[in-house]
Structure 1
Amino acid sequence: MESGNIAWMLVASALVLLMTLPALILFYAGMVQAKNVLSIFVQCYVVACLMSVLWYVVGYSIAYGGANPYWGGLSKVFLLDVTRESVVGELPEILFFVFQMTFAIVTPVIIIGAFAERVKFGFVIVFSGLWMLMVYAPVAHWVWGGGFLSDGGIFGALGTKDFAGGIVVHQTAGITGLILAIVIGPRLVTHHGGHSPVMTLAGAGLLWVGWYGFNGGSQLQADANAAMAVFLTHIAAATATLTWIGWEILKTGRFTVIGMVTGSIAGLAAITPASGYVGPLYAVMIGAVAAIIAQEAVGLIKSKLRIDDALDVFAVHGVAGMFGSMMLAPLGAATWTSQLGGMAIVGGYTLVVTIFIIFFCKGLVGMRVTKEEEEQGLDLSSHHQPAYSEN
């Protein structure tokens, strides 16, 4: 164990948790109607708590419990064989567990944005728990835990590369969000513009800061590559923000605050899988292109396909994350076969298992609130309390 690495990873773990509590909550809450703000806070907060417990009970074991190509097994349930002396690389294993737990927390919370303002609280909780255990944890094992997509697996010595979550986090969350939006159907009101752009802007800023830990921490060491990953994270986000603004002005003559920060998140998602493998010029290119394709994806999904992915989970996280993952092949960090093959396998698995979980949960607890409850707002109908008091 090395004290400098331990100190950095403690900070990185806190930064990644910050991405959920409160960054992503604020980012999402500002884009919904005022009558649904509290529901976003409660859904994200409770899901974060549930993922923490499930990761401790069995999720970590499924992802990192052993060398089986397809799942980690049950050897680390309840961390029964993890002591203060257990190590992963130069880290205490309990710290590695905590860092990976923050990823397992944020990924299901990202999905909540796709079905905001219209889903039962019980469905959110049951679906999120099952999805983390059945989709996120196995995929994390395949790519990061020594599974069949990693180096030495089915694609040979150079396996599917994903430095910090372009495939494991953003692709799985994006595809899942799109499926949920299609199955659940559109909101009664879809073009309200959000009740507080200021709240969304604050959340985006906190997400940006937290992403330093997300990408920089994925090096698992306090070294030059971690420092480079932090810089690439920043420059890709800055480039994507400016590109989004310019592209929006080019098309409409103006830009919006929500669009601006959406561009930032697209750049952050796109550089995530590549931040440990490329240099600054490539990061600038990835951020710029990601902003354009994510902006076009938003328009395609909402305006052309009429899919109410409420907070653009697929366009921003899915499309941008998959673009960044794919770019590792032409930039020399991976092969086309390993990247496209791995993405196809993860995408197909996510699609099939997510559909199964959706309909299982729908039969178990129901899925969508009633028309009257949606019109009243989930703050009152689900949680019996408004976000804002008139007093």
Structure 2
Amino acid sequence: MRPALALPVLAALLLAQPATAQVAAPDSGDTGWMIACALLLLLAALPGLMLRHAGLANVRHGLAAMAQTLVAAATILLGWGLAGYSLAYAPGSEWLGGGSNLLLANLAPLRDGLTVPESAFVLFQMGFAVLAGAIAVGAIAGRARLGWVAAFAPLWLLLVFAPIVHWMWGGGWLAQLGAMDFAGGLVVHVLAGFSALALALVAGRPRDAQGGGHAHILAIAGGALFWVGYAGAVGGWALGATDDAATAILNLFFAACAASLGWALVDRLLGAHASATGLLSGAIAGLAAISASAALVGTGGAMLIGLAAAIIARIGAGFASAWIDDPAHIFAVHGLGGATGALLLPLFVLPLLGGVGFDAGITATASLLAQAIGLVVIALWALVGTAIAALIVSILVPLRATPQAEADGPDAVEHGQQGWDFR
């Protein structure tokens, strides 16, 4: 072919080819990372919280604490698949998600804006739901019937947890207001801590004071599992195997270690001995506090957030023990610890203090106001919603175990004395 003809033919062939658009595809590394983080979250709840709450319960209610956590986890898992995920994340209003993902229908091959399939995102978020529920029911170990827990947990998921997730992480009204929560300081810890407070108030104190903390070794082992497993929460919320994931996990450990020592320091200042269980309680308060800002603050900021949370949580635990029965200090450690971190976020996000800074047009004052509004709304919704859910279920199934079951403890089944009280 002569050159004079070849050039027009080549041009025609090139023009005839359709434009090939870049199609986003799942990244296997990011997908594997998110699945691994989801499993770490589930490890934090099962067996982490099971062991911690069982060890801090009295000697007759250790098995009850484990059983209640298992029942709550099982029913929350089912509720998440049936409707929880859809109400939290499906397109809907500013207040609640829609019904397009009921029974996990219509999951996208790729989650919008991410490099992971939506099924991996569902699994990761399911870990948060189980964790929050397991934290909350730990406040009533030994006092509630398993049948009541089995009915309460999924109702709590749909009435309390899913709406708050939508408000903060599903593009709802609190997110639009400017409230920030990187990995659960508000959505998990404040929510679960104030839900635990409501449950402790509704359930009341044990009929007979039997002491607590019968197996501190179990509590310490469970707390350590929770600590390591919770790295999946902050690492996974980076939504990929990235520098943000590594930074968030580093800050998690810095905050937890500073908080652990801070709790022990307050113990000494109050005239008590520093204890192993106290060290773990402080570490968990630090985890709760740094959750809201783990990838957004610097190393020094993470340490100071953890230290402040431990001091407030330790003092709060002393006051709370006078009017509620909460042997694991769930309200103080998770509720007050998470609240402290959420309110300190606007300060330590400032570049001057090593943080990443705010987006254009956002000031520290406006962010602090949004954080305060988010904290108050979530705390009140958790308190009121949990109390309403508990009272609704109590109409059908009594909350408190029978006096005999509460006195003997369901552990007696191991010796053939009684069976589980599902009635």
TM-score bracket, shorter-length normalisation:
over 0.9
Query: 1:30 aligns to what SS in structure 2?
Result: helix
The change in CA–CA distance for 1:364 and 1:40 in structure 2 (over 3 A counts) is: same
Residue 139 (structure 1) aligns with: 164
For residues 126-174 of structure 1, what are the alpha-carbon distances to aligned partners after superposition, in whole Å with 9 as ceiling and x for unaligned? Answer: 1111001111011001100111111xx2x2xxx1100111111111111
Whether 1:321 and 2:338 are equivalent positions in the alignment is yes
Contact kept, 8 Å, 2:58 with 2:210, in 1: the verdict is no
Whether 1:221 and 2:227 are equivalent positions in the alignment is no
Instruction: Trace 1:318-357 onto structure 2 (pairs within 5 A).
Output: 318-331=335-348, 332=350, 335-357=367-389
Residue 297 (structure 1) aligns with: 316
For residues 249-292 of structure 1, what are the alpha-carbon distances to aligned partners after superposition, in whole Å with 9 as ceiling and x for unaligned? Answer: 22225212221211111111111111121111011001111111
Query: 2:236 aligns to what SS in structure 1?
Result: helix
Q: CA deviation at 1:382?
A: 11
Q: CA deviation at 1:365?
A: 0.5
* Alpha-carbon distance in structure 1 between the residues aligned to 2:170 and 2:343: 21
Instruction: Trace 1:205-284 onto structure 2 (pairs within 5 A).
Output: 205-284=224-303
Pick which of 120-129 and 220-229 moved more: 120-129
The change in CA–CA distance for 1:361 and 1:163 in structure 2 (over 3 A counts) is: same
* Alpha-carbon distance in structure 1 between the residues aligned to 2:43 and 2:182: 20
Contact kept, 8 Å, 1:120 with 1:382, in 2: the verdict is no
Q: CA deviation at 1:377?
A: 0.9
Amino acid at match of 1:286: I
Q: CA deviation at 1:381?
A: 6.9
* Alpha-carbon distance in structure 1 between the residues aligned to 2:143 and 2:382: 23
Contact kept, 8 Å, 1:237 with 1:267, in 2: the verdict is yes
Query: 1:329 aligns to what SS in structure 2?
Result: helix
Contact kept, 8 Å, 1:240 with 1:264, in 2: the verdict is yes
Whether 1:113 and 2:138 are equivalent positions in the alignment is yes
Residue 24 (structure 1) aligns with: 49
Residue 184 (structure 1) aligns with: 203
Q: CA deviation at 1:348?
A: 2.3
Residue 93 (structure 1) aligns with: 118
Larger CA Rg, structure 1 vs 2: 2
Residue 14 (structure 2) aligns with: none
For residues 37-56 of structure 1, what are the alpha-carbon distances to aligned partners after superposition, in whole Å with 9 as ceiling and x for unaligned? Answer: 22112111122121111111
Contact kept, 8 Å, 2:137 with 2:199, in 1: the verdict is no
Indicate the structure whose relative CO is greater, using CA pairs within 8 Å and at least 6 residues apart: 1
* Alpha-carbon distance in structure 1 between the residues aligned to 2:417 and 2:167: 43
- TM-score calculated relative to the size of structure 1: 0.92
Residue 75 (structure 1) aligns with: 100
The change in CA–CA distance for 1:186 and 1:275 in structure 2 (over 3 A counts) is: same
Residue 392 of structure 2, aligned match among 356, 360, 367: 360
Pick which of 308-317 and 159-168 moved more: 308-317
Q: CA deviation at 1:180?
A: 1.4
Amino acid at match of 2:375: M
Which ranges in structure 1 are unaligned for 5 or more consecutive residues?
A: none
Residue 147 (structure 2) aligns with: 122
* Alpha-carbon distance in structure 2 between the residues aligned to 1:383 and 1:43: 20
Residue 204 of structure 1, aligned match among 182, 201, 223: 223
Contact kept, 8 Å, 1:164 with 1:272, in 2: the verdict is yes
- TM-score calculated relative to the size of structure 2: 0.85
User: What's the Cα RMSD here?
Assistant: 2.0
Q: CA deviation at 1:68?
A: 1.8
For residues 165-212 of structure 1, what are the alpha-carbon distances to aligned partners after superposition, in whole Å with 9 as ceiling and x for unaligned? Answer: 111111111111111111211113456241111111111111111111
* Alpha-carbon distance in structure 1 between the residues aligned to 2:221 and 2:43: 13
Identity over the aligned pairs, expressed in percent? Answer: 37
The change in CA–CA distance for 1:382 and 1:340 in structure 2 (over 3 A counts) is: farther
Contact kept, 8 Å, 1:235 with 1:280, in 2: the verdict is yes
Q: CA deviation at 1:235?
A: 0.9
Pick which of 223-232 and 341-350 moved more: 341-350
Amino acid at match of 2:400: R
Whether 1:370 and 2:405 are equivalent positions in the alignment is no
* Alpha-carbon distance in structure 1 between the residues aligned to 2:305 and 2:209: 31
Query: 2:230 aligns to what SS in structure 1?
Result: helix
Contact kept, 8 Å, 1:18 with 1:206, in 2: the verdict is yes
* Alpha-carbon distance in structure 1 between the residues aligned to 2:408 and 2:162: 36
The change in CA–CA distance for 1:193 and 1:355 in structure 2 (over 3 A counts) is: closer
Residue 129 (structure 2) aligns with: 104
Q: CA deviation at 1:307?
A: 1.4
Pick which of 183-192 and 334-343 moved more: 183-192
For residues 227-256 of structure 1, what are the alpha-carbon distances to aligned partners after superposition, in whole Å with 9 as ceiling and x for unaligned? Answer: 000000011111111111122122225212
Contact kept, 8 Å, 2:197 with 2:383, in 1: the verdict is no
